Amino acid sequence: MPVCNVCGLRFSAPRKIQTCPDCVELRKAQISEQNKKCCIFCGNEFSSPTWHQRKYCCEECRKMALKDANKKTDYYKGRFLILDRDGFRCAYCGRSSYSDNVELHVDHVLPRCKDGDDVAGNLITACSNCNVEKGGTSLTDPGPILEEIKRRNNRIGLSSDQHIKLI
């Protein structure tokens, strides 16, 4: 009779088997518990014995997570495009995120609340102070700023009516 390599008890089985049936079941339960994971999208617990690197409990969660990731990527690409076009400087006061360590925002010259669109010709870089101070008001004379935006867009080959994703 063989001796179980887990608990050390003798059991009746062919000599090739080295683990008793009780220990085999215990080991299966341990492996099952180790393979339980939480879906990173919905938080539901799931078991994944064959796909140990799975992050999602189902295909639906995976697709939804990819959609969210693409939205965020598009947002950062659009925001970066405007900040880069403006040299990471506030268009109103000239302060920079590099030298002055200010937080930069993408501002609508014509605010959304007054039918301003998310297009390259209506977006400009503004530091947080200038953006908060301007708020939802329109500039008294937006002409020079809009002309500067148009010039910058032409310089980098960006159409002023190109939609920029800002969530």
Better-scored residue on pLDDT, 146 or 59: 146
Domain annotation covers residue 145: yes
Q: What's the rounded Cα separation, in Å, for the pair 148 and 151?
A: 5
Contact 149, 124 (CB under 8 A): yes
Q: What's the rounded Cα separation, in Å, for the pair 18 and 11?
A: 9
Query: Which structure tokens are listed for 165?
Result: 């994703």
* Residue 121: DSSP 8-state: G
Confidence (pLDDT) at 35:
57
pTM for this predicted structure: 0.56
Query: Which structure tokens are listed for 20?
Result: 């008793």
**Domain region containing 135:** 69-156
Per residue in 116-129, pLDDT tens?
Answer: 888 989 999 999 99
Confidence (pLDDT) at 149:
92
Task: Tokens 């008001």: give the residue.
Answer: 137
Q: What separation, in Å, do the N-terminal and C-terminal C-alpha atoms of the chain show?
A: 70
Confidence (pLDDT) at 31:
56
Q: What's the rounded Cα separation, in Å, for the pair 110 and 149?
A: 13
Any idea what the Cα angle at residue 16 is, between residues 11 and 18, rounded to 5°?
50
Share of the chain above pLDDT 90, in %: 19
Confidence (pLDDT) at 72:
57
Confidence (pLDDT) at 48:
63
Domain annotation covers residue 106: yes
Strand ranges for 82-140 from DSSP E: 104-108, 123-127
Q: What is the CATH number of the domain that holds 113?
A: 1.10.30
Backbone angles phi, psi at 119, to 5 degrees: -120, 155
Q: What's the rounded Cα separation, in Å, for the pair 104 and 79?
A: 10
Query: Which structure tokens are listed for 117?
Result: 């669109």
Domain annotation covers residue 15: no
Domain annotation covers residue 1: no
Per residue in 52-101, pLDDT tens?
Answer: 566 777 888 878 777 766 665 565 688 888 999 999 999 999 999 888 88
Where residue 32 falls among pLDDT bands split at 50, 70, 90? Answer: low
Domain count, the chain: 1
AA identity, residue 59:
E
Better-scored residue on pLDDT, 69 or 32: 69
Query: Which structure tokens are listed for 135?
Result: 């708020």
For residue 47, pLDDT over 90 is answered with: no
Domain annotation covers residue 30: no
Contact 125, 88 (CB under 8 A): yes
